[in-house]
Amino acid sequence: MSLSRRHFVQIASLSLLAGATFPKALAQEVEEERFSPENMAAFEGITRQSFEPYVKERFSISLAGKPLGRLTLIEVTEIKSASQPPLRPLTAFALRFQGSGGLLPQETYTLSQPALGSFPLLLVPCAVGATTPTYTAIFTQFATTGKL
């Protein structure tokens, strides 16, 4: 099937018109800048010990500025590497949260806690069949001297 220039120009013109008229139909609009320098500053120097005092504390959760409820931090776990050590040592830990409502899909949400502030966090549902949903967030970073 060949495409004439006239037909191509018509399709391109309609696409441009639709894109200008209905931008949400052709692209995902970002409501908030999740990974702005201000949001990422919250992770500077973050360690497993940064979260341990907040086990059993509730965190507010939102997506695109819309509040979705609260999650309870139920566990902070160190993750040990089972494979050969990389050229540059890594540290890793997991946060496990418990929800109280319906199951949330895997997504980067904004979590807030009075002492820690607001920060973006990728939450992955786990224990999907359970009566109370739980979510996991994994932190992996290069180890600094003395933190192996």
Q: Where are the domains of the chain?
A: 1-29, 37-142
Q: What is the mean pLDDT of each run of 10 residues along the chain (148 residues)?
A: 62 57 48 56 75 95 93 92 68 91 90 90 84 90 62
Q: Residue 109's pLDDT is what?
A: 95
pLDDT at site 47: 83
Residue 23 CB coordination number (10 Å): 11
Determine the pLDDT at residue 107: 95
- In DSSP terms, which residues pair with 125 in a beta bridge? 135
What pLDDT is stored for residue 148 in this prediction?
Answer: 42
pTM of the model: 0.67
